[in-house]
Structure 1
Amino acid sequence: MRIGFVFDDTLDVFDGVQQHILTLGKALRERGHHVEYLVGQTAHPPVSGVHSMSRNMMVSFNGNRMRIPLLAPVRGIRKVLDEGRFDVLHVQAPYSPLMAGRVIKRADPGTGLVATYHIAPTGTMQLKGGQVLGRINAGSHRRIDQVISVSKVAADYARITAGVESRIIPNPIDVAAIRANRDRAGTESIDRLHGQGPHLVFLGRFVARKGADLLIEAIAQGERRGILPEGLHLTMAGKGPLLERCRQRAQDLATPIDFPGFVTESDKPALLASADLAVFPSTGGESFGIVLLEAMASGAGVILAGDNPGYRSTLQDDEEALVRVNDPQTPIILAERIARVFGNPDWARGIHRRQTALLSRYDVHSVADQVEEVYEQAIQDRLIR
């Protein structure tokens, strides 16, 4: 098949949707498919076959900084579509009428159209905005043959904002590639990252909804109650507007916390492998939990996650691994759960076994099988219309 991924944002960063389409595209190419990317302004393409269709501008949405496209020139769209001769265009949704919407409207009548919904709104404003966008895109969305959502919460968003039902196919992770990066780092490097004593890792952006401040407050509560294991130390990796505040707050704690800043994709597996416990206490706005799966694939001991719909879906409702958020008692609850991980090895091993067993469900080869089925159905849908 000749496949074109359509995405309004840039491929110059490796955020969740970028990771999704690049990981899936790599697997599809390995299966013999021809894959191209029709994307927003991209100065440094990470793979071949990338077409920058429009210039982008930065905005804030759903608790994130993101880029939205300016008006994509029709001439450029037609050129890429004519030369691409795509069997399937796979649009990442929700999408902008200024770029992806224009591509959809100019797609060949015989090209199958698939959309994947990735988003989980953080509040009423974002949901209302999605409904407005859904009305704007109603005409182009009718051209889409098959709809995928990465989780139940993303499927709910698609139904509420675009009025469509969807098949749930999760985000893919390349388990073999993650483990290869970990193994390249070597046990000596992982042991050095682990250090002496129990090691807890947080990896994510330092923004309110990712919960870094909740984790620091949980450590403070654990210290007050004397329930944390001896020698516990933390690595809190990432960057963002709350980083300096978290650094200052950490100075009041007895528990050592290292803030190494941004960690590259190739270095992430070694850091996560060094974790006896990885904690991701996000309060919401997550349609899925790729970072949870990265930690599992890397070999982290136990993963604890904020009980938001996206993370709950990823962990298959594992109550022991989910921590209640958006509650005044969350820091205490999290402190007690951290203490239990280190104080009850049999309980912790049970969580680890369940989490490791999840990986086959999310591995890119399993996901690619399902996506190929959707592509074939979309092409069939075109033949009978």
Structure 2
Amino acid sequence: MPLTIGFVFDDTLDVLDGVQQHIVTIGEELRRRGHDVHYLVGETHDSPVPNTHPLSRNVMVRFNGNRMRIPLPAKRARIRETLAAHDFDILHVQAPYSPFMAGRVLSAASRHTGVVATYHIASADLASRVGGRLLGLINASTHRRVDEVVAVSQVAARYAEQTAHVRGVVIPNPVDVDKLAGAARAARRTGPSSSEEHLAVFLGRFVPRKGAELLLDAIAYGEAHDMFPEGFHVKFAGKGPLLDECRRRAEALRTPIEFLGFVEEEDKPALLASADVAVFPATGGESFGIVLLEAIASGAGVTLAGDNPGYRSTLLGDDDALFDVGADHARVLADRIRRALVDPDWAQALHERELRLLARYDVGSVADRLEEVYRRAIADRRR
């Protein structure tokens, strides 16, 4: 039976970071299945999806190693009007959430509406853990309105238990495997032919925990020890406060390094597909590894990831794909990149193992499990 579903998210849909990608990807799949999908969000001016209902103004803050937008107090009358206009069967709130927007939506929700909360976060430091516990206390009354709890990983599930004292089922982030693979194939057909070989690609924000500097350390180590094959070169994609510093460091290296800046969503599959090695050296604060799966689905030769709990969980503990981000990271990562480029049997075996992960995370499989959660939440409400 088709449902009317409202994704509740304090942040904007003007940019597609991790949580935005999650709700847009799963929302489009649910729409394909006949459900009426809406987005009750913070300040948004250019949403990529229909049925977007901005409910608050937002301000930028720093939290958990990221810059993020939090809502100013949303008008309760506007929330009530939106809820009344659509008679939602399900409200699916992205957690942790603000009491000023999502919390107010939960307070105003009809008692017949099922409520699901999905936790996305992993603590990056002590401040984020303390802040999370404080937010859990503030939201305790509205969180009692939640019928079912979901976490995108065991890491996020631990955060939910530690901060909100709730337990839930783990349902991972979704990846539209067919869409990514199709976009990469189309780019190869229509784009200029390329003879590039031995290409490593970094895609992410230039902030300390995403590890762009660790990759530069590995490149410098590999140069000093003559580890990389002829033609080895690197592309960095993204923006952030460390970008200028990384550019300065790259100028001192012999390896050809290109900084692409911000890459649009539609251009990411082609970039990742061009990589012999896609490298994501995040040091921590990751609840999941959606970018790893995007690289695999797009057709990167080998995807390598920093060994933090979120990435280890996503890659099911594959030690060939994971590398230590501790004191010896430069040597370890340089050696792993070299092996991916000069040992085709090893690289192919890892590539095939990574491809087998995709069925677990494909949006169709994730949507099946989420629909079951929705049915339980609705049944609980309508007994």
| Shorter-normalised TM range | over 0.9
Unpaired runs of 5+ in structure 2?
Answer: none
Deviation track 1:305-355 (CA, whole Å, cap 9, x = no partner) reads 000111011101101110111x11111111111111122211111110000
State the secondary structure of the residue aligned to 1:44.
Answer: coil
Q: Is 2:114–2:380's contact at 8 Å kept on the other side of the alignment?
A: yes
Q: TM-score of the superposition, structure 2-length normalised?
A: 0.98
Q: Is 1:273 the equivalent of 2:273? A: yes
Percent of matched pairs sharing the same residue: 60
User: Deviation at 1:209?
Assistant: 0.6
**How big is the alpha-carbon RMSD for the aligned residues of Structure 1 and Structure 2?**
1.0
Q: 1:3 aligns with which of 5, 9, 20?
A: 5
State the secondary structure of the residue aligned to 2:191.
Answer: helix
Q: Is 1:217–1:331's contact at 8 Å kept on the other side of the alignment?
A: yes
Superposition map of 1:282-321 within 5 A: 282-321=282-321
Distance 2:82 2:18 in 1: 25
Deviation track 1:225-279 (CA, whole Å, cap 9, x = no partner) reads 1111111011111111111111111111111001111111111101111001100
Superposition map of 1:227-376 within 5 A: 227-325=227-325, 327-376=326-375
Structure 2 counterpart of 1:118, one-letter code: H
Q: 2:123 aligns with which of 121, 124, 140?
A: 121
Aligned partner of 1:224 in structure 2 is 224
Distance 1:191 1:233 in 2: 17
Q: 1:24 aligns with which of 23, 26, 30?
A: 26
Distance 1:355 1:361 in 2: 11
Q: Is 1:140 the equivalent of 2:176? A: no
Q: Is 1:85 the equivalent of 2:87? A: yes
User: Deviation at 1:188?
Assistant: 6.0
Distance 1:42 1:184 in 2: 30
Runs of 4+ in 1 over 2 A off after TM superposition: 186-192
Distance 1:167 1:42 in 2: 30
User: Deviation at 1:186?
Assistant: 2.5
Distance 2:99 2:268 in 1: 35
State the secondary structure of the residue aligned to 2:300.
Answer: coil
Structure 2 counterpart of 1:237, one-letter code: A
Q: TM-score of the superposition, structure 1-length normalised?
A: 0.97
Superposition map of 1:102-113 within 5 A: 102-113=104-115
* Pairs aligned (count): 381
Superposition map of 1:170-185 within 5 A: 170-185=172-187
Aligned partner of 1:153 in structure 2 is 155
Superposition map of 1:25-104 within 5 A: 25-104=27-106
User: Deviation at 1:160?
Assistant: 0.2
User: Deviation at 1:70?
Assistant: 0.5
Structure 1 counterpart of 2:101, one-letter code: M
Aligned partner of 1:14 in structure 2 is 16
State the secondary structure of the residue aligned to 1:201.
Answer: strand
